[in-house]
């Protein structure tokens, strides 16, 4: 009787390419037969969590991600933020070229004319290739993603509606990927407001939360910033790290 009422949730963080480590966690959970009653994800954690809620198999999720990362579509998107498109573009280059772009002045120039480096059409095509066309309500494992309202700053928990839109909103890296509108709200990457969504999992009925944090820590940062823009980025990253520590402390 108690076992049926007790719910365990998995809270998966963002973390760009580092969030691919969630696949190893899911594999271990399967091996140890740990029951997961719901999944809540933020940013890349939402993408992996949403795919797992649909397929319920870590190997299948890994294969689907691998196919998309190796596709012409992804290479096309990644080349927009890569230093040199003449060389192979991997996930790290796609997610971590911000500083190079600012040093070259390209991002500043581009941002005056566009709201994102990757077009809305290209982003939707990538999401459509990666994510099944299904409703969150129909998933075998209850799931929710976290996004941030760009106007109000609110944390928006998406627990119903098209899975593709929910994952697109949760992983819409500001300035790189386009803003996603859901119910009239302009939504961006959930990692900017709640990168380890433990509180939403509890609010959705979880009694026990396993939190997986794949984000950068202070020890993983580069040496002392050498420019004004690098200092701005460092301070912004520190703010996110401190917020993440607070958020995941309830797991």
* Catalytically active residues, by annotation: 43, 189
Q: Which residues have CB under 8 Å from 141's CB, separation 6+?
A: 36, 37, 38, 39, 52, 53, 56
Please state, in angstroms and rounded to a whole number, the distance separating the CA atoms of residues 189 and 58. 23
Is 161 within 8 Å of 135 (Cβ atoms)?
Answer: yes
Please state, in angstroms and rounded to a whole number, the distance separating the CA atoms of residues 238 and 244. 10
Q: Which helix (H) or strand (E) holds 60?
A: helix 58-69
Please state, in angstroms and rounded to a whole number, the distance separating the CA atoms of residues 27 and 23. 6
Please state, in angstroms and rounded to a whole number, the distance separating the CA atoms of residues 16 and 167. 14
Please state, in angstroms and rounded to a whole number, the distance separating the CA atoms of residues 219 and 176. 26
Q: Which residues have CB under 8 Å from 112's CB, separation 6+?
A: none
């Amino acid at each position: 009787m108690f076992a049926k009422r007790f719910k365990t949730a998995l809270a998966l963080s963002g973390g760009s390419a580092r969030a691919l480590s969630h696949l190893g966690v899911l594999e271990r959970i399967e091996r140890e037969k740990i029951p997961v009653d719901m999944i809540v994800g933020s940013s890349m954690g939402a993408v992996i969590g949403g795919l797992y809620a649909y397929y319920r198999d870590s190997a299948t999720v890994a294969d689907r991600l691998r196919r998309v990362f190796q596709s012409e579509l992804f290479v096309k998107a990644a080349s927009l933020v890569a230093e040199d498109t003449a060389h192979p573009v991997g996930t790290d280059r796609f997610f971590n070229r911000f500083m190079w772009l600012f040093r070259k002045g390209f991002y500043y120039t581009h941002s005056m004319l566009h709201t994102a480096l990757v077009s809305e059409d290209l982003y939707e095509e990538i999401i459509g290739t990666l994510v099944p066309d299904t409703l969150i309500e129909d998933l075998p494992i209850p799931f929710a993603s976290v996004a941030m309202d760009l106007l109000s700053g609110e944390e928006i928990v998406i627990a119903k509606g098209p899975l593709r839109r929910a994952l697109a909103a949760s992983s819409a890296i500001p300035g790189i990927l386009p803003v996603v509108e859901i119910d009239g709200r302009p939504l961006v990457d959930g990692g900017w407001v709640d990168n380890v969504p433990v509180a939403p999992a509890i609010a959705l009925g979880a009694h026990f939360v396993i939190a997986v944090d794949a984000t950068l820590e202070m020890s993983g940062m580069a040496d002392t910033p050498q420019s004004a823009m690098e200092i701005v980025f460092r301070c912004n990253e520190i703010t996110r790290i401190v917020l993440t520590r607070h958020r995941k402390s309830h797991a």
